[in-house]
Amino acid sequence: MKVEKYINRLTQEQLDHFQTEGYLIVKGLFTEEHLLEIDHTFDEMSSQFIPGYYEPELSAGTEDPLKRYPRVMHPHRFNETAKRYMLHEPVLEVLEQLYGEEALAAQSMFYYKPPGSRGQALHQDNFYLQVEPGNCIAAWTAIDPATLENGGLLIVPKTSEHEIECPELADESESFTTHFVKPPKHSSPIPAIMDRGDVLFFNGNLIHGSYRNKTKDQFRRAFICHYANASALRINEHYRPLYRADGTAVDLDINPDGGPCGVEFQPLYPH
């Protein structure tokens, strides 16, 4: 009897969409049971101070909501629930089909993005991860519905083959990060409208970002992980070690390439 390898088998249309448009939204890869566990984990974490990973100003006012709710960097390094969902089997199944080989988990992040908070200027992920040969792929999971109003992700279609660029300075009144990559001529960002539990996949060259959360009462939480293809040899030193599906650590070589800004340039870490 033939055994189906993937529970979440992508159609040829989905594979083609990822190749031509540079991104793919897969509906419902996280069940409500999964999401409730993620809710609980990061709700508890939001009132803690974890040096080097999550450093909120717990008594901060409302002028900059991100001071009270900054993003959590690499929660998989200190929280087992975060690590387990970074290695979420349905996500790894999709990644293996997109890569055509095993995916290695390199990074996890959690964004609270409270009402009124700034967005993130357009950028390219592999500028930071520096996966070679191959590329990183992001799995961006909507923990809350992602809309244009609450600052859902913006993507610039067909830029997945766009060269990695040295970024310009972003408008810090609208972006909490300082890097900005200008879309190519005749291209413009579109919103990735998503329901809770949906996952958006895109490769490390795709230009993407987000606008401000314009709502008064909606968080736009997201669990975001980055992966590398198993045949990659090098990655930026800040993303080591990587992990296989069974949790085994893998150490790729450190990528010494300075990238499009030159050898002297050090991309701001963390991304």
Q: What is the pLDDT of residues 81-129, one digit of tens each?
A: 999 999 999 999 999 999 999 999 999 999 999 999 999 999 999 999 9
Q: Distance of alpha carbon 16 from its chain centroid, rounded?
A: 21
Phi first, then psi: give them for residue 48, nearest 5 degrees. Answer: -105, 165
Q: With b meaning 16 or more CB within 10 Å and e meaning fewer, what string describes 209-238?
A: bbbbbeeeebbbbbbbbbbbbbebebbbeb
Q: Determine the Cα angle at 190 with ends 122 and 89, to 5°.
A: 80
Q: Where are the domains of the chain?
A: 12-48+70-261
Residues near 70 by Cβ (< 8 Å), separated by ≥ 6?
54, 55, 56, 112
Confidence of residue 60 (pLDDT cuts 50, 70, 90): low
Please state the rounded mean pLDDT for residues 193-214.
98
pTM of the predicted model, to two decimals? 0.94
CA atoms within 13 A on the CB side of 180: 15
Looking at the chain, the whole-number percentage of residues with pLDDT higher than 70 is 94
Classify residue 86 by burial, with Cβ atoms within 10 Å: 0-12, 13-18, 19+. Answer: buried
List beta partners, residue 175. Answer: 119
Query: For residue range 143-152, what is the model confidence (pLDDT) as tens digits?
Result: 999 999 999 9
The CATH number, out of the four listed (3.40.50.720, 2.60.120.620, 1.10.10.1100, 1.10.3720.10), of the domain defined by the range 12-48+70-261? 2.60.120.620
Confidence of residue 264 (pLDDT cuts 50, 70, 90): very low
